[in-house]
């Protein structure tokens, strides 16, 4: 149930609370068309007040406020009541931050990760607010809730980042670099809790992204183009890992049926 005071009422309305501390605001180069909708704050009490004031289109947060309070924990209840509002989390991706992000996802949140220094929060907000409606979050929420949350807590941060790196250019080296690991160290960490090597995990998560876009009516050749692939064969091979083909993916139910196969496919079998 979405709280009536904070419902998304259309992309042309609603403020965007932004809990961004100190010098972080310099990264937000504000296009005039939506600058007036941003409301900056530095403490969770201010953020909570903004969330209850009027309709909200999106929320941008860092994981700690100016006093060091954990922001995701303070807004978890609000997220549970407002599951359709995108929550943009700007973070360096530490294990503790990723665990908190995973908790927001488990609460039903449409959580979208902005990794510093790789990602630009201004560009992310621009894409989100310039669209006629909030861009579809892709497979990430389903992967986090139904594949990552049931995984051993020890490996949850790594799998969380894998879900975000699976689109559009899934490369193990980039995933490992975001964790501060070598490819070999990442494979060892996965193997220690009986998960497949990193390339297998990323292929399965990438297949989930391909599948959900097919259920939205996107043509396979257009998905391949978005991924920078010269043809569709590698995409078909990823889907084949899950025992499916593009023509079998017609709606969200078809996509949801793949999730148990993804969860099983990334684990080492006895």
pLDDT confidence of residue 30: 61
Residues 6+ apart with CB under 8 A from 78: 3, 6, 48, 51
Share of the chain above pLDDT 70, in %: 93
Share of the chain above pLDDT 90, in %: 75
Q: Which one has a higher pLDDT value, 89 or 27?
A: 89
Is residue 114 within 8 A of residue 90, CB to CB? The reply is yes
pLDDT confidence of residue 58: 93
Q: Is residue 3 pLDDT above 90, yes or no? A: no
Q: Is residue 241 pLDDT above 80, yes or no? A: yes
Sequence-ordered alpha helix ranges (H) in 111-197: 121-130, 140-143, 156-165, 172-178, 183-192
pLDDT confidence of residue 4: 42
Closest to 240 measured CA to CA, from 223, 252, 258, 225: 258
- Tokens 């599951």 belong to which residue? 83
In this prediction the pTM is 0.88
CATH numbers and ranges of domains, the chain: 4-130 (3.40.50.2300), 140-265 (no CATH)
For residue range 181-217, what is the model confidence (pLDDT) as tens digits? Answer: 999 999 999 999 999 999 999 999 999 999 999 999 9
- Least confident range of 31-45, 79-93, 104-118, 165-179: 31-45
Q: Is residue 1 pLDDT above 90, yes or no? A: no
Residues 6+ apart with CB under 8 A from 237: none
Tell me the pLDDT band of 118, cut-offs 50, 70 and 90. confident
- Least confident range of 13-27, 43-57, 101-115, 202-216: 13-27
């Amino acid at each position: 149930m979405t709280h009536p005071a904070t419902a998304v009422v259309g992309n042309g309305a609603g403020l965007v609370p932004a809990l961004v501390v100190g010098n972080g605001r310099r990264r937000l180069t504000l296009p005039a068309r939506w600058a007036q909708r941003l409301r900056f704050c530095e403490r969770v009490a201010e953020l909570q007040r903004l969330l209850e004031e009027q309709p909200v289109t999106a929320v941008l947060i860092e994981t700690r406020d100016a006093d060091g309070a954990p922001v995701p924990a303070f807004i978890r209840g609000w997220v549970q009541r407002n599951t359709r509002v995108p929550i943009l989390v700007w973070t360096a991706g530490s294990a503790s931050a990723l665990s908190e992000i995973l908790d927001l996802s488990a609460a039903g949140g449409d959580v979208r990760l902005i990794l510093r220094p790789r990602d630009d929060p201004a560009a992310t907000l621009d894409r989100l607010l310039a669209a006629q409606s909030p861009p579809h979050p892709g497979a990430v929420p389903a992967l986090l809730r139904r594949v990552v949350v049931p995984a051993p807590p020890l490996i949850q941060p790594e799998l969380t980042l894998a879900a975000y790196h699976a689109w559009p250019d899934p490369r193990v080296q980039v995933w490992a670099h975001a964790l501060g690991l070598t490819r070999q160290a990442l494979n060892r960490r996965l193997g220690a809790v009986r998960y497949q090597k990193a390339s297998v995990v990323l292929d399965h998560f990438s297949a989930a992204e391909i599948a959900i876009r097919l259920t939205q009516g996107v043509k396979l050749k257009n998905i391949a183009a978005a991924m920078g692939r010269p043809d569709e064969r590698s995409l078909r091979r990823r889907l084949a890992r899950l025992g499916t083909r593009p023509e079998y993916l017609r709606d969200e139910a078809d996509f949801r049926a793949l999730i148990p196969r993804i969860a099983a496919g990334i684990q080492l079998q006895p």
